[in-house]
């Protein structure tokens, strides 16, 4: 079944380049970590994380995006595993040291409960010591819903939360836009 994102991803590099301030969260981490890029799309972060030396697995349900990502992987000669599946049906979150969910959650009323359940499922299933880095568009609703879902899971602590404003220059024809993001790092405590 086609993903709703297949149409968006017909445009190459639809979301643009990785935001340097988000990549900075990874720079001091041990390169031996296994990272799952959930909702990886065309590889906006998958490729840079692999270039940084991490063992990255890319997960998305868009056939169009993953076809483009496979080509980018071939061109770059990087080793990245691709999983063509839906994040809601994926069950192996516990196999990774770090989960990365960039703009995966939108917290709209029509799918709010599903997103809250997915966050709880992911965090309940990760191994002790594992971390999850969430990036959402900043709004009071998104911040509140994300933090409520995270803190509802026993044994999960919020290590870091920060707002970030990024000047997006999408095209020389359009004026730069400031986009606000909210970043949270959650960790499963060691028992």
CATH of the domain at 92: 3.40.50.150
Range of the domain at 137: 31-188
What are the CA-CA distances from residue 61 to residues 2, 52, 132 (Å)?
Answer: 8, 25, 20
* pLDDT tens-digit series, residues 138-163: 988 899 999 999 999 999 999 999 99
- Give how many domains the chain has, as a whole number: 1
What is the pLDDT averaged over residues 56-70?
Answer: 96
Is 6 within a domain?
Answer: no
pLDDT value at 170 more than 70: no
Is 17 within a domain?
Answer: no
132: closest CA among 94, 85, 169, 170?
94
Is 123 within a domain?
Answer: yes
Q: What is the pLDDT of residue 124?
A: 96
What is the pLDDT averaged over residues 100-124?
Answer: 93
């Amino acid at each position: 079944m086609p993903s709703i994102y297949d149409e968006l991803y017909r445009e190459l590099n639809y979301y643009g380049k990785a935001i340097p301030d988000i990549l900075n969260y990874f720079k001091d981490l041990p390169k031996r970590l296994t990272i799952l890029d959930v909702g990886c799309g065309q590889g906006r972060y998958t490729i840079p994380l692999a270039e940084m030396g991490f063992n990255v697995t890319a997960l998305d349900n868009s056939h169009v995006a993953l076809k483009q990502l496979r080509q980018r992987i071939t061109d770059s000669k990087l080793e990245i595993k691709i999983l063509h599946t839906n994040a809601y049906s994926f069950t192996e979150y516990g196999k990774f040291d770090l989960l990365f969910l960039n703009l995966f959650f939108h917290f709209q009323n029509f799918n709010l409960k599903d997103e809250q359940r997915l966050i709880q499922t992911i965090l309940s299933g990760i191994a002790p010591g594992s971390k999850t880095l969430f990036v959402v568009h900043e709004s009071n609703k998104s911040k509140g819903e994300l933090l409520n879902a995270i803190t509802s899971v026993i044994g999960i602590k919020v290590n870091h939360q920060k707002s970030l404003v990024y000047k997006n220059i999408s095209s020389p024809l359009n004026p730069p836009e400031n986009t606000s993001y909210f970043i949270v790092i959650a960790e499963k405590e060691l028992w």
